[in-house]
Amino acid sequence: MTPITALLAEGFTLSVEMWPPRTVAAGERLAESLHRLQVLEPSFASITYGAAGSTRERTHELVVELHEEGAIVPMAHLVCAAHRRSELVEILSRYREAGIENILALRGDPPLEATAELPQGELHHAIELVDLAKEVGRFCVAVAAHPEGHPDATSLVEDRRHLATKLAHADFGVTQFFFRIEDYLRLVDDLDHLGNVRPIIPGIMPITNVRTVTRMAELSGTAIPTEIVDRVNEVADEPEAVRRVGVEIATELCARLLEEGVPGIHFYTMNQVSATLEICERLDLLPGGARRGG
């Protein structure tokens, strides 16, 4: 039984985001990644959730499987979008019965046009799901924080205000990935001024593939600074060099975050853990190292 709040209270957390596999081959690759991650002894693994159809069940299966294996503490993502309240209550109740304690409560992105299979969703903002998770199962609940502001927000000031209120209902925050440390520091600072006392774990996405990271940055409203674009573009034709430069960039960012005394680091792995492992080795973040309480 491990609520992530207890891990954060003990000290620095190192965590990873994975997604549930869609095919047998992807399942095999995920199993291999999880095996390789053991050397890192991650504090927890968060498992993404797709609002549509069969992907819903795959998240549940992977979360419960990880929980039963006991090697890593899972955190289940869940979204408001395209769900009736009763469906969310059912999903949360099943997690509670399976012994799952950690939920990342998200709004998700509502479907542009509602259908019978994918309605607009009865809860409109993540904060409502935080409250529901607390009511149904007294879960430890994390929420998303957007260092550069959420793309839908009317203003950064409004976005910060909503985020501070959401954090006050939840237990901790995990940020969207970012490349400029200033964006994270400004987020934490703004939230401090709004009275936030919850830990905000920075999310890091190592660049391993130019096209993928550019698309994800566009979707999430994350800016990729020119300096980083230039460094990656210099080697854009050599996939292995892109990966090497991506690891260097993420290592530099993590080193600065560690200097700032962050509560943890969360890696967006996209189920490929080589870059994460390399960054952690370079930063002496393996178990037993000074930064992991060794």
Segment 113 to 132, residues that bind ligand FAD, using CB under 6 A:
125-127
Length of the chain: 294
User: 121 is written with which tokens?
Assistant: 């969703």
Residue 17 annotated in active site: yes
Cβ proximity to ligand FAD, 150 vs 231, nearer residue: 150
Window of 60-68, 159-167, 180-188, 234-242 that interacts with ligand FAD by CB under 6 A: 159-167
**13 vs 173: CA distance, rounded Å:** 13
Give the nearest distance from C-beta 235 to ligand FAD in angstroms: 28
User: 55 is written with which tokens?
Assistant: 């992907």
Distances (CA, A) of 199 to 7, 40, 60, 61, 142: 12, 22, 26, 28, 10
| Residue 291 found at the interface with ligand FAD (CB under 6 A) | no
* Tokens 């609520």, residue located: 3
| Residue 166 found at the interface with ligand FAD (CB under 6 A) | yes
Q: How far is CA 131 from the centre of its chain?
A: 20
Percent helix / strand / coil, the chain, rounded to 5: 50, 15, 35
Give the nearest distance from C-beta 35 to ligand FAD in angstroms: 23
| Residue 79 found at the interface with ligand FAD (CB under 6 A) | yes
Answer yes or no: are the C-beta atoms of 84 and 119 closer than 8 Å: yes
Q: At 251, which helix (H) or strand (E)?
A: helix 239-259
In the shown chain, the binding pattern of residues 170 to 209 toward ligand FAD, with x for contact by CB under 6 A and - for none, equals: ----x-x--------------------------x------
Cβ proximity to ligand FAD, 57 vs 238, nearer residue: 57
Cβ proximity to ligand FAD, 150 vs 282, nearer residue: 150
**227 vs 181: CA distance, rounded Å:** 14
**257 vs 265: CA distance, rounded Å:** 8
Residue tagged active-site, from 17, 101, 148, 278: 17
Cβ proximity to ligand FAD, 175 vs 251, nearer residue: 175
Of the candidate residues 108, 199, 246, 264, the single one contacting ligand FAD (CB under 6 A)? 108
Q: Which chain residues interact with ligand FAD by CB under 6 A?
A: 48-49, 51, 77, 79, 106-109, 125-127, 144, 150, 152-153, 159, 162, 166, 174, 176, 203
- Report the catalytic residues: 17
